[in-house]
Amino acid sequence: MPVVPVNGIRLNYEDTGEGEPVVMIQGTGGGRTAWQLHQVPALTAAGFRVITFDNRGIPPTSECPEGFTLQDMVGDVAGLVERLGIGPVRVVGTSMGAFVAQELSLARPDLVRQTVLMATRGRTDALRAALTRAETELHDSGVVLPARYSAVLRALKFLSPRTLDDERELADWLDLFELAPPAGPGLRAQMEVSRLENRLAAYRGIRVPCQVIAFADDLVTPPHLGREVADAIPGAVFEVIEGCGHYGYLEDPAAVNKAMVQFFTGPTAC
């Protein structure tokens, strides 16, 4: 995969397929490979070219341990699109990646054709603020949780009851989470990016066609917070996918991919 200089960092990306380009942005701690299993094949099969990348903070992209902002990450995506000469593009973001995508749609509408925002919000409410603060304090304490315990906590946080109640499926998820590499310094900076100020009023200025996808059982960004974003963005469409937690694009990829492709090929496509 190419590593290119963009916006003052070295950014690792992968370019797959042919057709109109789609740029995909991962959430906190997530790498580009999370899209490879389900979303990239679905989009390339639908005739799209898909660009995935590792956000700053996730090696082999620059880790930037000194810290960075949401606007830095917006600049990274804009810089990649401009370097590749592919704008305007369709953009997909999940969680923190959705924060980046909605800010990019506001700041650089010249680069964005359509935007899909999964598991997003436009403000940090009391519970999400407390969660981010607690996770940051745990990281800063230097305490390392046992891998199995950390895996169980991650499952409870990110997966739906439907998945948690399926013993075979849950076992696979726990094994996957347990094998996850330890967090590096870039994750700490991404946690800070998740402290999103209230941007709902600003999002009334977004003119890019947007689709907001929420997951019914998402504890991290519950559907009512996604609904606020959809209500703020003029003309945005809103969809809730049942039986999914924060990792809904992995728990029910068929439903997520269908919604994305229909949006990208529907009336707002241009």
Task: Give the residue numbers annotated as catalytic, written as ranges.
Answer: 95, 218, 246
What is d(CA 223, CA 221) in angstroms, rounded to the nearest whole number? 7
3-state secondary structure of 4: strand
Structure tokens at 237: 């469409």
What is d(CA 140, CA 235) in angstroms, rounded to the nearest whole number? 42
CA of residue 71 relative to chain centroid, distance: 15
Which helix (H) or strand (E) covers residue 127, if one does? Answer: helix 126-141
64 contacts 56 by C-beta, under 8 angstroms: yes
What is d(CA 15, CA 52) in angstroms, rounded to the nearest whole number? 7
What is d(CA 247, CA 13) in angstroms, rounded to the nearest whole number? 22
Structure tokens at 207: 């003119």
Angle (nearest 5°) at CA 72 between 207 and 48: 55
The secondary structure of residue 261, as a DSSP letter, is H
131 contacts 95 by C-beta, under 8 angstroms: no
5 Cβ contact list (under 8 Å, min separation 6): 11
